[in-house]
Chain A
Amino acid sequence: MDQDRPRVETGRVLWSDGMDLLQDAAERKHLLPTGLEGIDTLLGGGLRKGQLTELTGQSSSGKTQACLYSAAHVAARHMGAVLYLDTSNSFSPSRIARILDELPISFIKEPKDVRLKRVMSSIICESVFDIFALFEVLNQLEVSLNNKVNNGGKKICLLIIDSISSLLAPIIGGKYSQGRSMMISVAMILKKLADKHNLSVLVTNHMVAGNGAPKPALGESWKAVPHIRLMISRDRGSNICTATILKHTLLASGRHMKFAVPG
């Protein structure tokens, strides 16, 4: 009988009550602005730390732009370091420089090149091309976050994975269940990192053809993973994008807002 019982971990089980959770939310789980007004207004301020946000949309609808804007704004406002995991070589330092140039005058407190250097050193960009490399990077991140207690260097506060669906879509589906189990394992690791180390995680997803309208990729099992799911669409031939809430822990789904992505 004992052979069937799984090994119980010897860590202590931590219970917290409602007031502890509220205090933690107020003190630690702040909002990170993305820099795109429409998304920030829709989300009530920005991406929340401790939560996993998914941006889904068709190709060239503005998902990578939104990721670059978030990275630039979070780094520029001294909120912490950004880890940008890039699966398709879409990270562009020149685009970050142009985004910084668009910042309003009130933010300029130092010369442009100094700020550019500081922002670039706060964004850590790594290329990940398959799921195993992703596991490796996330493990390294967890180890370094566990060990770094109060280092002088900047603590990572935003983790962007652009796009996670290109890593996960090839492995799910088919006869074997390993692909789906890897997807759920990645999801659990991301949520654990977000909550324990106070990160905000932003992932992007692409869309596939469904019965009629296109739907987000990665299927039904992924739907239960992110805290917040947003859909971005771009009006043809213009710079105006629309962001729609598909799922949110606090707000009603269906709310949408238009915003402009310059350049």
Chain B
Amino acid sequence: MTGDAGCGPREWLAVDETAADFLSRSLSTRPPILLPPPLHRAPLRPGNVVEIAGPSNSGKSQLLLMAAVQCILPKEWEGVYFGGLGKAVMYIDLDCRFDVLRLAQILRKRITHGCGSAHPPSEDFEKDVSKDKFHSFQDTLFSDCMKRFLYVRCYNSSELIATLKSLNSQSEARSKVFGIGIYFLLLDSIGAFYWIDRAPQPTTESKGTTISFQSITENVVQEIRKFLQLQPVLVLVTKAPTYGEGITASNDFQRGSSKYMLDDSTASRYSKREEEKNSSCREYMPSAWQTLVTHRIKLQDLAQEAGFSSEQDNNVLSVHTSEWVHPPLNTKEKFYIKDDGVGFIQ
């Protein structure tokens, strides 16, 4: 720096690039991503971290699978338009409940749907040759897409941190082999080890330091940030709520006071239950995690909210709602889960 003292200040003041250049560069290297509904309302770009929160059975993992399928499908394949992104996806499974058959089901239905709309089924079915070619075309596309889906399981926090540390080298190795980079990073259930990490454990370290949930989360956040700096990807994380230790206390309260509220209408009892649930499931992720997250969406299962009924019809589709918390959109949108993925109710 001292060597450039003469021309230093002028160069330092010279313009690096104009705002127009910056915007066009940013838009070309990090283009906006259109995800299938209900995640399509907020503009998302690589480098964003989206947190999908909701109670059990509200459809969070289904949304992750829909996003994964959207990413691994190519934009176009031999003339058929699919509208996907054609890039690889890394799925880190902490809940260990991923079912590959469900992913295969959604992918196959999307491929068949895309092919069906492009090539309408011909009337004469004697053309076996073309039918075989049709099937092998679908199978090649299917296996190509499945190869772009990378999966790993972690059974405790140390495995998670080891996986995150190896993300960059893995993604580089894979892109050298396949020529396609990673575009999405999916994490199923960030709070999976919350109770295990929170309990005080006997440590083998000589100094007797305890590993706290806070420090583990800070490590996780640090590793994700490091990875995002080297390779900007869109991160989708699901989060299940944790009900605090005081849940028995609030249940007792409900039971005690309901004696005096026998004549209440169902509406007030419903809102009371929702209020109690909201107060007892508090935000348990430390502030380090909350600063990492850039977008938040909240999901709910309507059938569960109304109370469990065992007399359901076999064909009733369960309706779920989604609400963008950050950026706050103040609208609840409905969607349902069917065989070929998530269906959006306008």
**Does residue B163 face the partner (Cβ distance < 8 Å to A)?**
yes
Residues of A with C-beta under 8 A to B102 = 249-250
Docked-complex contact B161 and A18, CB < 8 angstroms: no
A-facing mask of B81-101, CB < 8 A → 1, else 0? 000000000100001110111
Looking at B21-29, B30-38, B45-53, B209-217, the stretch in contact with chain A turns out to be: B209-217
B-facing mask of A72-104, CB < 8 A → 1, else 0? 000000000000000000000000000000000
Looking at B111-119, B288-296, B309-317, the stretch in contact with chain A turns out to be: B309-317
Interface of B is mostly: mixed
Docked-complex contact A213 and B209, CB < 8 angstroms: no
**Does residue B143 face the partner (Cβ distance < 8 Å to A)?**
yes
**Does residue A22 face the partner (Cβ distance < 8 Å to B)?**
yes
Q: Which residue of chain A has the shortest Cβ distance to B310 in the bound complex?
A: A244
CA–CA, A195 to B152, complex, Å?
A: 12
Which of B55, B147, B189, B207 interacts with A19 by CB under 8 Å?
B147
Residues of A with C-beta under 8 A to B200 = 178
Q: Tell me, rounded to whole Å, the shortest Cβ–Cβ distance linking A230 to chain B.
A: 12
Q: Tell me, rounded to whole Å, the shortest Cβ–Cβ distance linking A214 to chain B.
A: 9
Which of A4, A6, A15, A173 interacts with B157 by CB under 8 Å?
A6
Residues of B with C-beta under 8 A to A13 = 152, 159, 162-163, 166, 170
Residues of A with C-beta under 8 A to B55 = 220, 223
Q: Given A184-B195, A188-B156, are A17 and B316 neighbors across the interface (CB < 8 Å)?
A: no
Q: Which residue of chain B has the shortest Cβ distance to A222 in the bound complex?
A: B56
Docked-complex contact A5 and B219, CB < 8 angstroms: yes
Q: Tell me, rounded to whole Å, the shortest Cβ–Cβ distance linking A187 to chain B.
A: 9
Residues of A with C-beta under 8 A to B248 = 173-174
B-facing mask of A172-200, CB < 8 A → 1, else 0? 01111110111111001001100100000
Looking at A116-124, A125-133, A157-165, A251-259, the stretch in contact with chain B turns out to be: A251-259
Docked-complex contact B56 and A223, CB < 8 angstroms: yes
Q: Count B interface residues, CB 8 Å.
A: 74
**Does residue B271 face the partner (Cβ distance < 8 Å to A)?**
no
Docked-complex contact B162 and A249, CB < 8 angstroms: no
Q: Given A16-B150, A17-B146, A255-B314, are A6 and B158 neighbors across the interface (CB < 8 Å)?
A: yes
| CB contact list, B287-340 vs A, under 8 A | 303, 307-310, 312-314, 316-318, 337-338
**Does residue A3 face the partner (Cβ distance < 8 Å to B)?**
yes
Residues of B with C-beta under 8 A to A150 = none
Q: Which residue of chain B has the shortest Cβ distance to A51 in the bound complex?
A: B99
CA–CA, A205 to B252, complex, Å?
A: 23
Q: Which residue of chain A has the shortest Cβ distance to B163 in the bound complex?
A: A13
**Does residue B103 face the partner (Cβ distance < 8 Å to A)?**
yes
**Does residue B345 face the partner (Cβ distance < 8 Å to A)?**
no
Docked-complex contact B161 and A233, CB < 8 angstroms: no
Contact sample, A vs B, 20 pairs, CB 8 Å cutoff: A4-B211, A4-B218, A9-B162, A13-B152, A17-B146, A17-B148, A19-B143, A22-B101, A51-B99, A173-B247, A174-B248, A175-B245, A176-B245, A177-B195, A188-B156, A220-B56, A220-B243, A221-B242, A223-B56, A223-B57
**Residue ranges of A at the interface with B (Cβ–Cβ < 8 Å):** 3-9, 11, 13-19, 21-22, 24-25, 51, 173-178, 180-185, 188, 191-192, 195, 211-213, 215, 219-221, 223-224, 227, 231, 233, 244, 246-247, 249-250, 252-256
**Residue ranges of B at the interface with A (Cβ–Cβ < 8 Å):** 55-57, 72, 90, 95-97, 99-105, 143, 145-153, 155-159, 161-163, 165-166, 170, 189, 192-193, 195-196, 198-200, 205, 207, 209, 211, 215-216, 218-219, 240-243, 245, 247-248, 254, 273, 303, 307-310, 312-314, 316-318, 337-338
List 19 additional contacts besides A250-B101, A254-B312; criterion CB under 8 Å: A4-B209, A4-B211, A9-B162, A11-B159, A13-B163, A17-B146, A17-B149, A18-B151, A19-B143, A21-B100, A22-B101, A181-B198, A184-B193, A192-B96, A219-B243, A219-B247, A231-B310, A252-B338, A255-B314
